[in-house]
Amino acid sequence: MRTIIEPFRIKMTEALPITTPQQREEKLAAAQHNVFLLNAQDITIDMLTDSGTGAMSAKQWGALMVGDESYAGSTSWQHFEQTVRDITGFTHIFPTHQGRAAERILASTRLKAGDIVPNNSHFDTTRANIEYTGAKAEDLLTSEGEDLYSMHRFKGNIDLEKLERIITENKGRIPFAMITVTNNSGGGQPVSMSNMKAMKALLTKYNIPMVIDCCRFAENAYFIKEYEPGYQDKSLMDIAREMFALADAATMSAKKDGLANIGGFFACHNEQWAEDFRNLLILTEGFPTYGGLAGRDLEVIAVGLREALEYDYQRYRHATVEYMATRLSEQKIPIVLPAGGHAVFLDAAGFCPHLSAADYPGIGVVNSLYLEGGIRSVELGSVMFGRVDAKGNETPAPRELVRLAFPRRVYTQSHFDYVIEVLTQVWQQREQIPPHRITKQAPFLRHFTAHFAPMAQSKAQKKAV
Ligand code: F0G
């Protein structure tokens, strides 16, 4: 059959708020033109993130009911540990309340000022946790990965030449190197098995441990199965195991491919790493058999990790992203290609050639999508990544992207058709997208709380369209 259907039926529904254009205008103004400040009940389709926003299966809801809330050694912990070990093969496994808690403890136990941690691209919490220790987080994407429109299939690959250079120039200063699968910051792009194998060989030569940020490991396994020669006949579980066998440790946010609403873990082989991690975990997260989670959360993750590796689920998930990317590309709407695993990324600079980076085109697109159809997306451009110096001068981000993330198992085909229709409408009226100015901002992570004001367009801007 050509039609790839959602491999589930729906047993419980949740009403979607349907709003009028006037209501949306009022709500957005009240939220200071920042969609982070909107209330959920004012949003029709929420594509702000794929993190913790998925729908649980009947099996997960069932598992939740048998959650064992014993403080130490609960049966739910045992299910969790067995599942994570079965998939990853790691010796030591520690639950955490989410991915960034695993990152924080790893960074604070292994890094010091002056150290360097290479990665294909660090996610912002990973970077922040590394840099908080005084170490430096380096992104080493390949040139194809940096090119928004290159059709290379594995644009998440780490550049091995850059990696070797950084290692030889900084001997003794790299306690570990990371690889993020899929590469969220770079558009949800996958990393090939051969790239990870070559990375491992290089790191082994210099005796540097390899840590996988494995939030979307199952989506990455699907890309390998579909597109990397030699993997077509392997199961997603086999591919995941092969990938984890390369690593010395992993950090995980179970809010992604754990198909859970909360949770994460750290896993490793090294005894000393485990010992140091455990001590800090007890101090800040909880006893090592629950690590900041309820027993029921551990049960839910144990089931979710296996469901994420089901081929039919991944095939449907990738088909939804692919479907939207194809429809948008047909209309020449500028998006990052090929489509990533968990989101469609719009190129807001290409969308709004009449706006400069200082006009925050990403905010213009995000707000237009909300006003047009009640869709919430997120800017990944100069508001999120631009650097502001002490005098208030701004250096724009290298790219102006807008991410429409796909919550797992939440929306159906007609929801995506609706999103495509809204996007088409905004695209056709793109010259009306206004510049925005920041009227209030915090000194760091300003995108969450900034206040914006849409500005009238100048004649010159209108003419440029
Ligand atoms: N690593 C990657 C690649 C991520 O995408 C995230 C979260 C984390 C680590 C941190 O995990 O949220 O459980 O603490 N990404 C979310 C997003 C927030 O919207 O992309 P967390």
Cα(99) to centroid of ligand 1, in Å?
6
Q: Do 335 and 234 share a structural domain?
A: no
Whole-model pTM? 0.95
Atom of ligand 1 nearest to the CA of 50: 19
Query: Is the CB of residue 138 below 6 angstroms from any atom belonging to ligand 1?
Result: no
Asked whether residue 450 is domain-assigned, the answer is yes
Q: Is 49 in the pocket of ligand 1 (CB under 6 A)?
A: yes
Residue 460's pLDDT band (boundaries 50, 70, 90)?
low
100 CB under 6 A from ligand 1? yes
Pair 253, 273 in one domain? yes
The whole-number average pLDDT for the span 89-98 is: 98
Determine, yes or no, domain membership for 13.
no
170 Cα–ligand 1 center, Å: 28
The model's confidence at residue 458, banded by pLDDT at 50, 70 and 90, is low
| CB of residue 119 inside a 6 A radius of ligand 1 | no
Query: At residue 444, does pLDDT exceed 80?
Result: no
Task: Flag whether 5 is in a domain.
Answer: no
Residues 149 and 98 in one domain: yes
Distance, first Cα to last Cα, the chain: 44
Q: Is 51 in the pocket of ligand 1 (CB under 6 A)?
A: yes
Query: How confident is the model at residue 306, as a pLDDT?
Result: 98
What confidence tens digit (pLDDT) does each residue in 226-262 have? 999 999 999 999 999 999 999 999 999 999 999 999 9
Q: Does any domain span residue 3?
A: no
Is residue 349 domain-shared with residue 300, that is, in the same domain?
A: no
Residue-level pLDDT at 456: 87
Nearest CA to ligand 1 atom 8: 99
Co-location of 301 and 321 in the same domain: no
Last residue of a domain, one of 286, 307, 328: 307
User: What is the DSSP pairing of strand 177-180 with strand 436-440?
Assistant: unpaired
Residue 459: pLDDT band by 50, 70, 90 thresholds?
Answer: low
Task: Give residue-wise pLDDT tens across range 24-44.
Answer: 999 999 999 999 999 999 999
Domain count, the chain: 2
For the cut 80, the answer to whether the pLDDT of residue 207 exceeds it is yes
Span from the CA of 274 to the centroid of ligand 1 (angstroms)? 22
Q: Is the distance from the beta carbon of residue 257 to the nearest atom of ligand 1 less than 6 Å?
A: no
Q: Are residues 334 and 400 in the same domain?
A: yes
- Does residue 460 lie within any of the structural domains? no
pLDDT: is 129 or 387 the higher one? Answer: 129
Q: Same domain for 99 and 34?
A: no
pLDDT exceeding 90 applies to what percent of the chain? 92
Out of 80-84, 152-156, 198-202, 386-390, pick the least confident.
386-390
Q: Which of 263, 286, 307 delimits the end of a domain?
A: 307
Spatial separation of the C-alpha atoms in residues 106 and 164, rounded to whole Å = 23
Is the CB–ligand 1 distance for residue 46 below 6 Å?
no
- Domain check: are 286 and 361 in the same one? no
Choosing from 307, 341, 359, the residue where a domain stops is: 307
Query: Are 222 and 263 in a shared domain?
Result: yes
User: 7 in a domain, yes or no?
Assistant: no
Is 68 among the domain residues?
Answer: yes
Mean per-residue pLDDT for 439-462? 83
Query: 185 falls in which pLDDT band (50, 70, 90)?
Result: confident
Shortest-distance atom of ligand 1 to CA 180? 3
| Buried residues in 125-162 as b, exposed as e (16+ CB within 10 A) | bbbbbbeebebbbbbbbbeebeebeeebbbbbbbbeeb
CA separation for the pair 303, 258 (Å, rounded): 8
Label residue 462 by pLDDT band (50, 70, 90): low
Does 382 share its domain with 243? no
Helix (H, G, I), strand (E, B) or coil at 108: helix
Residue 193 has pLDDT above 70, yes or no: yes
- What spacing in Å lies between the alpha carbon of 51 and ligand 1's midpoint? 7
Other Cβ atoms closer than 10 A to 331: 11
CATH number at 372 reads 3.90.1150.10
Name the residue at shortest CA distance from atom 21 of ligand 1.
Answer: 99
Domain range for 221: 58-307
Q: Quick one: 223 and 112 in the same domain?
A: yes
If phi > 0 it is left, if psi is from -120 to 50 it is alpha, else beta; for residue 388 that is beta
Indicate if 323 and 237 belong to the same structural domain.
no
110 lines ligand 1 (CB under 6 A): no
pLDDT averaged over every residue in the chain = 96
187 pLDDT tier (thresholds 50, 70, 90): confident
Distance from Cα 2 to the centre of ligand 1, integer Å: 33
Q: Are 67 and 299 in contact (CB under 8 A)?
A: yes
Confidence of residue 1 (pLDDT cuts 50, 70, 90): confident
Residue 392, in any domain of the structure: yes
Q: What is the CATH number of the domain that holds 167?
A: 3.40.640.10
